[in-house]
Amino acid sequence: MTIENISSNKSFEGWHKQYQHQSSSLNCAMRFAIYLPPQASEQKVPVLYWLSGLTCTDENFMQKAGAMRMAAELGVAIVAPDTSPRGVGVADAADGSYDLGLGAGFYLNATQAPWKSHYHMYDYVVNELPELIEQHFPVNTKRAIAGHSMGGHGALTIGLRNPERYQSISAFSPIVNPINCPWGQKAFEHYLGKNRDEWLQYDACELLKNTKAKLPILVDQGTSDSFLDEQLKPQALIDVASAQQYPLTLRMQAGYDHSYYFIASFIEAHLKFHFKHLTA
C-alpha cells in the first residue's frame, strides 16, 4: 500500500502529518492524519485511533482538541481518519442533510444501494487503516480507540466487536443506542436496510449485553449537550453496563456541551487513561 504525504507540521517536538492513499475498502481516495510523538524517532510507539463525529474530517480533532502536548509527553501516536468516503461517484444524501452521506459514514459496512459501493468505514478502521499505519510508521501493535459523538459510537462498537485488537476504549458524547435514536435510525435504515436485526451489530448497548470481553471503557458526557436526551441517551449504556457488571466509567460533566471546548477540557485525561492500558 502506498501513501502520499500532503502536509507536515512540527508540534511539541513530534510531527503532525496528513496523508492520502487509495482505499480498497472504500473504493476511493482517503485522507488520514497522524501525530508522531518525539519518542517515535527512537522506538515504536502505541497508537490511539480517533474517530470524529458528523460533518468532520481528519482535521477537526487534530486542530481543535489540544491532544498533542500530552501525546508527546506520554509517547503515544494518534491516528485520525476521515469520517466517510469522499470523491467523484461517492453517494451523498439527496437532500443535502448533514447526518447521512458525506461526513456521516457511521463506521459501519453499508449493504444497501447506493451506499454499499463505498461506505465500508468499519472495514477501513478495523483492518485497512491499522495495516497501513503499521506498515509505514514506527508504531507497535498496541492500539486503543476513541471518538466523539458518531465517532464515539464507532469507537464503542468497533472496540466491543474486536476486543483482541484494542487495549482500551473511550468516548466523548457517544451515540450509545443508535437503534433507538433519530440519527441512528435514519443512518441504519439507509445504509443497512429495514431489517432491524442487522442493526444490532452496530449498537453499543446491544453489544454490551452479549460481550464476554471486559475492555476498560471511559466515557465523558456533558450535561448541557443539546443532543443529550434525544440522540445520545447515556443512561441506556449505564443500565446495560450495570446489569452486565461491565467495567464502564461514565462521567457526567456539569455544564459542558457537545463542542470541542468540551473535548479539549478532558482529552488529556483520556490520553492518560489509554496510556495506562497501552503500556500495562
Residue tagged active-site, from 23, 25, 84, 149: 149
CB-CB contact of 195 with 243 (8 Å): no
DSSP string, 224-235: T-TTIIIII-HH
> Annotated catalytic, 149?
yes
Question: Which residues contact residue 276 at a Cβ distance below 8 angstroms, ignoring those fewer than 6 apart?
Answer: 168
For residue 268, give the nearest of 10, 7, 12 by alpha carbon: 12
For residue 54 the three cell numbers come to: 458528523
Residue tagged active-site, from 23, 173, 225, 274: 225
> Annotated catalytic, 136?
no
Residue tagged active-site, from 16, 258, 270, 274: 258
270 three-state secondary structure: helix
**Cell numbers 443500565 label which residue?**
239
CB-CB contact of 176 with 232 (8 Å): yes
Question: Can you name the residues that pair with 220 across neighbouring β-strands?
Answer: 172, 251
Q: State how far the Cα of 222 lies from the Cα of 234, in Å rounded to an integer.
A: 10
> Annotated catalytic, 225?
yes
Catalytic center residues: 149, 225, 258
